[in-house]
Amino acid sequence: MDLSGRTVLVTGASSGIGRATAILISELGGRVVLSGRDAERLSATRAAMAPGDHAIAEYDLSQTDGLCAWLRSVAARSGPLDGFVHSAGVQTTRPLGAVSRADYESVMSVNLAAALWLSKAFRQKSIYRPGAAIVFVASVAGLVGQSGNHVYGASKGGVIALTRSLAIELAGGKIRVNAVAPGLVAGTAISGAFERACTVQQMSAVTALHPLGLGRPPDVANAIAFLLGDAARWITGATLTVDGGYTAA
């Protein structure tokens, strides 16, 4: 689990799973490039991290056309990367009749398209060091059906498929590609949306679907750190469910 001497980009580092991941990487000796849209919140994450030469690189991942140039500029400032974690995500819950093109495009651009274009940029030899690892944050919504969660589930299912394909294509460049698929994690934007939309009884029912209860961001960060490090050197193309037993039911 030691990440000393490694530089890892974490998207969505201002909150939730991305924030917990950035903090844990720093505690394991890694250097982190924190990405998000809100510089103030990114600075708050950096303040909570273990000391190190960490950097902030603001970017709106919905602007996929500029991702390759942006990642080149990140590597030019921070040096070649040993990995990246794509934790940033957009979630919307709509019944099928209410889904709009704007819903579709906002979710797909950040959740799936950004994952693809970040990977395309990352594979350039000036940007990564051999032995690097990519970890995508997918979701159990990409593995099981959830009413009203069509677009989000499709985007995360796409991330899982992308993980398998990229693992094969990038293995020759000594890049491993894996994903984690969390269940409902307390303290994230998604769990907050559930809490606002559900009654106490409904939230109890949702929690009961997770035999071990709802997770916390560090639960998922631990799995991500494992996949980044040498302990997972023979793992690629895998999706690790971190869901308190949700998909086992």
Contacts of 93 (CB under 8 A, 6+ apart): 148, 149, 152, 193, 197
Task: Kindly tell me if the per-residue pLDDT of 237 is higher than 90.
Answer: yes
For 128-144, how does the pLDDT look when each residue is reduced to its tens digit (9 = 90+)?
Answer: 999 999 999 999 989 99
Task: Kindly tell me if the per-residue pLDDT of 97 is higher than 80.
Answer: no
Number of H helices, E strands in the chain: 9, 7
Residue range 180-202: mean pLDDT, rounded: 78
Catalytic residue from among 59, 128, 152, 246: 152
CATH of domain 7-243: 3.40.50.720
Q: Any idea where the domains of the chain sit in the sequence?
A: 7-243
> What average pLDDT does the chain have?
92
Instruction: Report the amino acid identity of residue 26.
Output: S
What is the distance between the alpha carbons of residues 170 and 164, in angstroms, rounded to a whole number? 10
Residue range 69-78: mean pLDDT, rounded: 96
Query: Could you tell me where the beta strands, DSSP code E, fall in 64-219?
Result: 81-86, 128-137, 175-182
Contacts of 237 (CB under 8 A, 6+ apart): 163, 164, 167, 168, 177, 178
152 is catalytic: yes
CB 117 within 8 A of CB 64: yes
Cα–Cα distances in angstroms (integers) from residue 199 to residues 39, 152, 196, in the given order: 34, 22, 8
For 145-168, how does the pLDDT look when each residue is reduced to its tens digit (9 = 90+)?
Answer: 877 678 888 999 999 999 999 999
Tokens coding 18: 């991305």
Residue with tokens 């490694």: 6
Task: Kindly tell me if the per-residue pLDDT of 104 is higher than 80.
Answer: no
For 202-216, how does the pLDDT look when each residue is reduced to its tens digit (9 = 90+)?
Answer: 778 888 889 999 999
Task: Kindly tell me if the per-residue pLDDT of 173 is higher than 70.
Answer: yes
What is the distance between the alpha carbons of residues 166 and 109, in angstroms, rounded to a whole number? 18
Task: Look up the pTM and report it.
Answer: 0.93
